[in-house]
Amino acid sequence: MNQLFSTRLILLLSVISLFTFISFFPTTQARAESEKMNIAPNYSFENDLTKIKTNLCNYGGWFPIGVVAEDGSSEIRIVEDIARTGKKSLRVTTNSNVFKGTIYYSQYNAGEEVRNNITNVGVSGARTIALRLDQDIFSCDASVWIKKAPDQEITLKAIWYTRRNRTPFIKIAEQAVSQPVESENGWYKYSLHAVRCHTARQVQIAVTARDSKPFYIDDAEIYFNRNPHIDILVDQLGYETQSNAKGFILQSSTSLRQPPGSFSLINLKNNTKAFTGKFKELGYFPQWDLYHWQGDFSVFKTPGRYVVETVINRKAYYSPPFEIRNNLLVSKTSEIAYRFFYYQRCGMSIPSFHGACHLDDARMPDGSYKDLAGGWHDAGDYNKYNGYTPESVYALAFAYDNRRDFFDKFDQDANGQADILDEAVWGAEFLEKCINPETLDMIATISSGYGYWGKPEKETDNLPSTGDERRVRDNRVNASACMPGFALLGKYVPKYLVIAERLFQKHGGNMPAILALYKATQKQVYRDAARKRTGTLLPKDKNNTSDFRELADYAIAFPKDKLVPKIKSIAKMRLEELRIICNNPFNITRRRDNDGSLIFFLHYRDVNNWYVGESRELLDTAYEGILLEKLGFTEGRIIAENQVHWILGRNPYGVSTMEGVGSVFAPQYHHRYNAIPGNPRGAVPGAIVNGITRAWPGHDRPWLDMHPEPNADYQANEPWLPHNNRWLFLIAIW
C-alpha cells in the first residue's frame, strides 16, 4: 500500500498552477525564456528589506556566511555607494580573523536561526535563503554580477540540502564555478547550471571569497527547471450530480507541441466513454512556470464513478478517479471530519494512536497544580490553546444541531448519544475546567513548547505534582468565545446553557452567539438583541460588505424581517466582490496585498515570520457562497464548490489536503504522531492541513511539502483545529 502510494505521488506530484486574472495569461503556447520568473530574493537590492526587524530578515533577503561582528568589520549590508543597475547593491565585508559575534544558519521549515557570541572565523560571503524544491525541479540556473578587485577569487555555489528523520538541514552536494563568464566596467558575471540530487529538498545559492577584501553583489538571477510532466487535476471525492462547477485543470510543466484538443469521461463500471468535451486554454503563468487548460463537464449529470482521459501526442493521460452523485460531500466527509477531533483528544487513550497522555496537566503560574486534563491537541503538537477550542465546540454542536438526522446514525460507543455530540461535550468539559466560575475569565494556554517529538503519553509521567507537569501560561482571556458553542450544546446538556447565558449577561455577544442563544431558548431578549446587532452592522458606507456573514446569518434565521431586503443588497455586493476575487482558472479566493493587488498566498517578508496555508480562507469563502445561495444568489454555490474542489485535489499538486478523502495525499504531515509506531506519515484521519502556501518571500508561488522524509514543513502540512471547524460549519448548511 505504501509503495503504491509513493509511486502514485511521484507520478502526480509537483504541479503548480495559479495566476491572477484569466486575462493576464498569454494565449500562445510559446514563451520567451525571459518570461520565466527570477526567484532570487531581492535580486537588485533596491527593496531595502533591512528595515524589516521581524526576527532575522536584516540583510535584504540574503544572509552572511560566517560570524558577523558588531563593529562592521565582518558583515553584509545593502549600500548605495556602488551599484551595477539601480542605486543599491549588497556589500560583503569579508574578514578571515576570528570573532565573537552572531552566526546565522538555516533550520527547520526553511527558516533561519541565530547563535550569538560564537568564536569563529568572520564573514566569507553571502547566501540566499534555502529555496524549497518541488519534486519536479531537476536543475537550477544561477548568476550574479560581482564588483571586486581584479585579482580577487570569487566562487558562486549551488548547495543542495535534504532532511533526514528529525535532522532538518543536511548538505548532500555542492556545485561551484570560480571563473566569470563576462565582465563590464569592473563588474564580473558568474553563472552556473546546477543539477539537483534526487533527494534534495532545498537549494541555496552562495557567493564566497578567499581573502579579506570587500566585494559587491548585484543583479542576481535564479531560475528553476522542471522535468516534463502532464497532470489532470480533479476533485478526488467528486462532484454533486446537479453541480454547475464540475470541471478540472490540465497542467503541464512544458509547452506542448500539440496542445490538447478534447477530453472524455470514462465510466469505470464498464470502461466506456460517457462524455466528451473541449479544452479551454488558460496559458502560461511565469510566476509558477506552468501551463494550464480547463475542462468542464457541468452539463453531465449521470451518477457513477469516472476518470478524465485525454490523449496528447498519442499518449493517454488519466485523472484520479472520482464520483458523481447526490449528497456527496455530506455523506462522504461529515463523519471523518468530526472524527478527526477524537484522534486529537488529549487526556485519554486513543486505540491505535496513543495511550492516555498528559493526565497531569497542569502546573499553574504560581507553581500549584490544577486538574486541566482533557481537551484536544491543537495541531501537530501536543499543546492546548483556547483560541480555537471554543470554536471547535461550537462547530461540532452547530453541525449536529443542523443535521441531527444524519449524525444520529453514528454512535460507536452505544451510549445513546451521537458521537459528534460526545465530541462537543469532551471539548466543553475541558473548557469548563479552564473557566473561573466567578470571574468568567479563562486559561488560554497549556504548553510545553515544540521541542518534544515522541509518544504523547511519554512526555510527562502523568502523575500530578511530581514536577514535570506542563505549564499554564500566565495569560487569561475572557470566556466569551465559549458562548455560541455552550449555547447550542446547552440544548442537549443544560448546564452549558446556564454558562452561556451568564457570559452573555457579562459580555454581550456577536451574531453567532446571539442566534445560538435564541435557538436554544427561544427567548425574546435574544431575538431583540439579534435585531439590534443587525442594525449596528448595517453599513453606513453602502460599499462596505465586511459584516456580510453575520448579516446573512440573521437574514436566514429571520427571513421575513423588514431588514432582509437591505441585507440582500449587501449580499449582491458581496457576490460581485467574490466574482472578482475568485476570477482565476481555479476559481478560488484570493486576498488583497498591501498595495491592493490580489494575491493567492499570505504575503511575508521574512522566512521566520509565522505564516500558514489558505484552508481557513477557502472554507470561509465556501461558507459565504452557501449563505449567498440561501439568500437567492445561486452563483454562490458555484463559488463554494470551487473552494472545496481545491482542498480535495483540484490544486497545483493534485493532492487532497483532507486525509482520507480522495486518493492522493501528502507523503508526510507535520505531526508528532509520526513518532508513534505504525504511523510514520503522522496522518490523522479527516485532518485538513494548513494547505498550500507561499514557497518563498516575495513570490506568490505555491508550496506543499512533498518530501517523503518525516517532519514536513508546518506552514503547509500541519493539521490544525480551525480548518476542521470550518469544514463542519460548511457541511452543516451545505
Residues 319 and 272 in one domain: yes
Per-residue model confidence as pLDDT tens digits over 641-671: 999 999 999 999 999 999 999 999 999 999 9
Question: What's the whole-number mean pLDDT along residues 434-460?
Answer: 96
Torsional class of 137: left (φ above 0), alpha (ψ -120 to 50), beta (otherwise): beta
Which pLDDT band, with edges at 50, 70 and 90, does 26 fall under? very low
Q: Which of 477, 498, 533 is the last residue of a domain?
A: 477
Residues 674 and 683: their CA atoms lie apart, in Å, by 7
pLDDT digits (tens, 9 = 90+) for 518-553: 999 999 999 999 999 999 999 887 789 999 999 999
Are 26 and 119 members of one domain? no
> Collapsing DSSP states into helix, strand and coil, what is residue 552?
helix
> Contact 153/211 with Cβ under 8 angstroms?
yes
Nearest to 710 by CA among 676, 674, 678, 679: 674
* pLDDT higher than threshold 80 for residue 30: no
Do 192 and 318 lie in a common domain? Answer: no
- The total of other beta-carbon atoms located within 10 Å of residue 494's CB is 10
First to last CA, the chain: 33
Do 94 and 191 sit in the same domain of this protein? Answer: yes
Q: What is the mean pLDDT of the chain?
A: 92
CB 65 within 8 A of CB 615: no
Are 204 and 172 in contact by the 8 Å Cβ rule? The answer is no
Predicted pLDDT of residue 19: 31
> Sorting pLDDT into bands at 50, 70 and 90, what band is 50?
low
Q: Which element (helix H / strand E) includes 240?
A: strand 238-240
Backbone angles phi, psi at 617, to 5 degrees: -65, -40
Interval 506-519 mean pLDDT: 98
Using 50, 70 and 90 to split pLDDT, how confident is the model at 56?
low
Cell matching residue 73: 568589520
Residue 488 lies in a domain: no
Decide: 246 and 296 in contact? Cβ < 8 Å: yes
Element (H, E) at 91: strand 89-93
> Cα–Cα distance between 221 and 208 in angstroms, integer?
16
395 shares its domain with 313: no
pLDDT tens, position by position, 710-731: 999 999 999 999 999 999 999 9
DSSP state of 470: P
Exposure of 703 in the CB half-sphere (CA atoms within 13 A): 30
CATH number for position 232: 2.60.40.10
pTM for this model (two decimals): 0.93
Q: Per the domain annotation, does 720 fall within a domain?
A: no
Write the CB contacts of 188 (distance below 8 Å, at least 6 apart in sequence).
145, 146, 147, 148, 154, 180, 182
Q: Are residues 382 and 266 in the same domain?
A: no
| Rg for the chain, CA atoms, rounded | 28
Domain count, the chain: 3
Q: Is residue 375 part of a domain?
A: yes
Give the strand pairing for 75-79 and 89-93: antiparallel
Q: How confident is the model at residue 474 (pLDDT cuts 50, 70, 90)?
A: confident
Asked whether residue 221 falls in the same domain as residue 239, the answer is no
Query: Which residue's entry shows cell 473552494?
Result: 643
Question: Do 321 and 366 sit in the same domain of this protein?
Answer: no
CA-nearest of 478, 502, 508, 506 to 490 is: 502
Check whether residue 199 and residue 315 sit in a common domain.
Answer: no
For CA atoms 573, 576, 578, 580, the dihedral sign is negative
Q: Is residue 64 part of a domain?
A: yes
Lowest mean pLDDT among 16-30, 228-242, 249-263, 321-335: 16-30
Judge whether 491 lies within some domain: no
Q: Three-state DSSP class for 257?
A: coil
Check the CA dihedral 653-620-695-21 and report its sign.
positive
Domain span at residue 471 reads 327-477
Same domain as 206, residue 285: no
Helices 615-630 + 548-557 axis angle, to 10? 40
Residue 653 maps to a domain: no
Residue 150 sits in a domain whose CATH number is: 2.60.120.260
Mean pLDDT of 623-629: 98
What is the Cα–Cα distance from 726 to 734, expressed in whole angstroms?
12
CA distances from 74 to 97, 120, 369, 668 (A): 9, 11, 50, 40
Is-contact 110 713, C-beta < 8 A?
A: yes
Domain match, 72 and 219 both: yes
Q: Measuring CA to CA, which residue among 131, 125, 144 is closest to residue 207? A: 125
DSSP 457: G
The domain boundary residue, chosen from 477, 512, 532:
477
- Residue-wise pLDDT for 298-337, tens only, equals 999 999 999 999 999 999 999 999 999 999 999 999 999 9
The answer to whether the beta carbons of residues 238 and 154 sit under 8 Å apart is no
- Spatial CA neighbour of 96 closest among 216, 206, 178, 209: 209
Q: What is the DSSP string of 266-323?
A: EETTTTEEEEEEEEEEEEEETTTTEEEEEEE-TT----EEEEEEEEETTEEEEPPPEE
Report yes or no on 261 lying in a domain. yes
Same domain assignment for residues 14 and 88? no
Query: Per the structure block, which three cell numbers stand in for 434?
Result: 479552564
Show which of 477, 509, 534 is a domain's final residue: 477
Helix (H) or strand (E) holding 731: helix 721-733
Residue 412 maps to a domain: yes
Cell 486518493 locates to 663
Q: Rounded CA gap, 335 and 526, in Å?
A: 32
| Least confident residue range of 102-106, 299-303, 368-372 | 102-106
What is the C-alpha to C-alpha distance for residues 382 and 450, in angstroms, rounded to an integer?
8
What is the rounded CA–CA span in Å between residue 154 and residue 652? 39
User: At 578, is the secondary structure helix, strand, or coil?
Assistant: helix
